[in-house]
Structure 1
Amino acid sequence: MDDAIRLAFEVFGQLDKKIISVNPSFEMYSVYSKMYGMHHVPIHFNEKFEVDIEEIIDSIDKNTGIVSLLNPNSPIGKSWNENQIIRIIEKAKENQAVIIIDEVYYYFNPISFLDLIYEYDKLMIFRTFTKLLSIAGGRIGYIVSNYKMIDMLKRASGTYPVNCFAIKFAEKLLENPSIIENLIKIEKEGREFLISKLKTNNYDYYCNGGNYILIRSNKMPKELFDMLKERKILIKTYNNPILVDWIRITTGGIESMKLFWNEFEKLDLL
């Protein structure tokens, strides 16, 4: 989705205007705001992993160029409900701002606002094959919007932005929905297994419907990272103050989650 984000900034970004997003979130929105001379206005989550929607709405004004929302946000934040999304979009519409709803975790938490593209002419929905379908190396995703918005994006896009092998792979996946359904089932089983282990062992954890779980570990996250890496298991740690005591696990099939849990339990309870 990096190229989709880049295109959105290249086509619709305006020098010195604001881009509004929640924080923490996907870091590339902040990166591209700097590259294209926009001012990033982050709306911060609190220590309860909640964000004030009124603060988001109040931040949108005539100097706003882009409003970006992940649905659900990563690594924290619940899926937005329709009332929240419409209020944000309406405020953006009043100020001629573009809205991006990034649905990269759609397959895990299928709450979508795709139908709203028929009602709002500056709305874009981003989706990817990276998360569930395991072809991150293919660098393939797509943007859904109205004809005018897509036409403007195509004019700024490279001649061959996606290689032919990735396209063929994606086509076959879409032609075979049973593969997608099976992958959804496999990930859900693994996620539920890990959650059951965390509950049984009285861990604080956070899961908002994406293919990841945050865990408040007993050991320092950086220490656990190094120990698990030695066992060929990679986790994510954070420098953000509200996440510094948490580790993030990408969830997958039950065998992978058993492998993680067996090593994690031994190391974290030492």
Structure 2
Amino acid sequence: MSNRTSIFSYKPGQSIEYVKSKYKIKNVIKLASNENPYGSSKQVILNVKKVIKDIYRYPDSHSKILKNSLVNILSHNSINENNLLIGNGSNEILEFIARAFLNNQSEVIFSKHSFLVYKIISTLSNAKIIETKPRQNKYDQYLGTDLESIMEKISSKTKVIFIANPNNPTGTIIDITDIRNFLKNIPKHIIVVIDEAYYEYSSYLNKTSAVNLIRKFPNVIVTRTFSKIYGLAGLRIGYGISSQKNIRTLTSHRQPFNINIAAQYLANVALDDQDHVKYCLKKNLDGMNYIISTFEKLGIDYLSPYGNFITLNLGKKTKSLYNKLISKGIILRPLENYNLSNYLRMTIGTSSENDRFVDVFSKLLNKK
């Protein structure tokens, strides 16, 4: 089977409505897609009607108001609006990068257990994909991205390196000092993409963003999303941050009006409600600590989590436990497509969702 065929046979996780229908269950919880279980802020909800009245108009093609708000948040990194590009989800920014910098004469590098979109967009650009070995130290970001392994695979054809930080689906992270040293030791023409979809969660744990590296390393592109902590996954909006030269290049691949008027307006409202962000980060950390404590009591192996999800190793029981959980109305994410067939990924839910998971999961383990 070719890479192209295997990629496009990829199937997303099960939907709540599908599970309700198949298993005849009224109350289904989805802990599979790393959405914010507390949703978007109340201010966003209150402003939906306000923006709906303007949907007959085309949106601002340059998203100027949203860019200005992002500049205010990122001002300590000397970022201005010419360093920003807004995308239809951060996935669109990743697509722009592949279109702009990859072709059938180039190579792209990323870790074996990385976000699947990197493989999809690289294949569509006909680039040669180099997947590197993950970290192997059980006690140090196990299965996360190994920068030394990436460095060993760099060749004269390498054009782009994708690094998710924190990484999805492993949840692991690379320290900013290690990223800085890595950038110092690779050719400056290689585009290094730091995918920070889960940055807000890691920053709450005192981890530093790569945005402050852009001035010294203009080959760096940082991508972020409003789909996670801001709870706007359904609106599809994200952004890229880089040198003005890179942003101009990526912009040339953008369709006009790629961000709808509701997404622009409500993302701006969401940015303004940082109290909601802080509330969700605190609730996520509380939930994460509760789930980790439960796994340790049950003797369940898990990977180091720095996002809003945790990846657990269930060995040969993985498929059986996944099926039993879903039959009880609890949807987790199987990871066969990420070459992690013995693992499941669990999004941290609300307090009641976490309690329900722990209750059902513990009972299923005791039946084994």
Amino acid paired to 2:201: F
Residues 91/238 of structure 1: CA separation in 2 closer, same or farther (3 Å cut): same
**How far apart are residue 208 of structure 1 and its match?**
2.5
Structure showing greater radius of gyration is: 2
Q: Distance in 2 between matches of 1:92 and 1:37?
A: 23
Aligned to 2:200: 107
Q: Is 1:92–1:98's contact at 8 Å kept on the other side of the alignment?
A: no
Q: Is 1:189–1:253's contact at 8 Å kept on the other side of the alignment?
A: no
Residues 154/56 of structure 1: CA separation in 2 closer, same or farther (3 Å cut): same
Q: TM-score, normalised by structure 1?
A: 0.92
SS in 2 for 1:213: strand
Residues 249/192 of structure 1: CA separation in 2 closer, same or farther (3 Å cut): same
Q: Which consecutive aligned stretches of 4+ in structure 1 deviate over 4 angstroms post-superposition? A: none
Matches within 5 A, 1:1-270: 1-45=90-134, 48=138, 49-50=142-143, 52-76=146-170, 78-94=172-188, 96-110=189-203, 111-217=208-314, 220-239=317-336, 243-270=340-367
Q: Deviations over 1:103-152 (max 9, x none)?
A: 11101101311111111111100001112222211111100112121122
Aligned length: 269
Aligned to 2:83: none
Two-structure CA RMSD over aligned residues (Å) = 2.0
Amino acid paired to 1:209: Y
**How far apart are residue 218 of structure 1 and its match?**
7.2
Residues 184/267 of structure 1: CA separation in 2 closer, same or farther (3 Å cut): same
Q: Distance in 1 between matches of 2:210 and 2:237?
A: 21
**How far apart are residue 179 of structure 1 and its match?**
1.0
SS in 2 for 1:220: helix
**How far apart are residue 56 of structure 1 and its match?**
1.2
Residues 97/204 of structure 1: CA separation in 2 closer, same or farther (3 Å cut): same
Q: Is 2:215–2:243's contact at 8 Å kept on the other side of the alignment?
A: yes
Q: Distance in 2 between matches of 1:118 and 1:86?
A: 12
Q: Distance in 1 between matches of 2:176 and 2:345?
A: 28
Q: Deviations over 1:7-57 (max 9, x none)?
A: 111112233211111111101111111110101101122554245432211
Q: Distance in 2 between matches of 1:130 and 1:208?
A: 18
| 5+ long unaligned stretches in structure 1 | none
| 5+ long unaligned stretches in structure 2 | 1-89
